[in-house]
Amino acid sequence: MGIGLTLYPRNPYAIQTEQKKDIHKHVTDWAEASQKPKCHGINNSTRFTVTIAICAVSQTEGELLIGLDVDGIYRVSGNLATIQKLRFVVNQEEKLNLDDSQWEDIHVVTGALKMFFRELPEPLFPYCFFEQFVEAIKIQEHDSQVKAIKDLVQRLPRPNYDTMKILFAHLQKIAAKENMNLMSSQSLGIVFGPTLLRPEKETGSMAIHMLYQNQLIELMLTEYTKIFSSD
């Protein structure tokens, strides 16, 4: 069962919840996620949803954003002990009060999000799709490459697809502020590639795989609209 988070925004990185639409989503705690089965095909029964448990600067009602102008957001590591404490609070189904000063470092919140994806027993891109995504990113002709990736994304288990769409929409907004935060689509690809897409068993091709992992995330950010459109 997912955990409902009540978010209480803080300082310049926050938006007032009473003035914004509800941005609550369900989040699977780490303990529950560890019990989920591996992917055995595109009809995978793995079910998980995630909250982008973030509050941010936004002038648009209901936006899911996060400190867009923070230098090195997602690249800079937060304090590990504080991240682990945040993780514990979420796992204990406690109300998460981001107005508490102990969570004021935005890198703690982003670090917790990265940790969530890193600790899933099976990555957001299921193992059984790994080789297919690698082959798709190898395609030289750009339009064909985008189409191949879009087709694969559309075949993902629904919880994976929904989570991916939310996450990539958020990261796309981060990349759009590259001039302030110095986090381009390429930089985000380097940060998230190995976390979201990885083989079940590493081989001697680890360095090559990392290149494709990074390139895939970068492309999905730059071509977000095409890949996640319903057309």
Instruction: Note the pLDDT of residue 150.
Output: 98
Structure pTM? 0.75
Give yes or no for residue 100 having a pLDDT over 60: yes
User: For residues 106 and 181, is the Cβ–Cβ distance under 8 A?
Assistant: no
Distance, in Å, from the CA atom of 94 to the CA atom of 200, rounded to the nearest integer, reads: 33
The backbone torsions φ and ψ at residue 27, rounded to the nearest 5 degrees and listed phi first, read -130, 135
Decide if 99 is inside a domain: yes
Domain extent for 105: 39-228
Beta carbons within 8 Å of 199's beta carbon, 6+ residues apart: 127, 130, 131, 209
Decide if 142 is inside a domain: yes
More confident residue, 161 or 205: 161
Q: Could you report the per-residue pLDDT of 185-197, keeping only the tens digit for each?
A: 999 999 999 999 9
Q: Is 188 exposed, middle or buried (CB count within 10 Å of its CB: 0-12, 13-18, 19+)?
A: buried
Decide if 7 is inside a domain: no
Decide if 33 is inside a domain: no
Distances (CA, A) of 138 to 59, 68, 134, 216, 230: 39, 31, 6, 9, 24
Query: Alpha-carbon dihedral of residues 185, 26, 28, 44, nearest 10 degrees?
Result: -80
Decide if 77 is inside a domain: yes
Residue 181's CB: how many other CB atoms inside 10 A?
A: 20
Decide if 22 is inside a domain: no
Token couple for 119: 């600790």
Decide if 139 is inside a domain: yes
**Long-range CB contacts (within 8 A, 24+) of 131-134:** 131/199, 133/197, 133/212, 133/216, 134/209, 134/212, 134/216
* Residues of the chain above pLDDT 90, percent: 42
Domain containing residue 169: CATH number: 1.10.555.10
Decide if 12 is inside a domain: no
Q: What is the mean pLDDT of residues 199-215?
A: 87
* pLDDT interval class at 87 (50, 70, 90): confident
Domains contained in the chain, number: 1
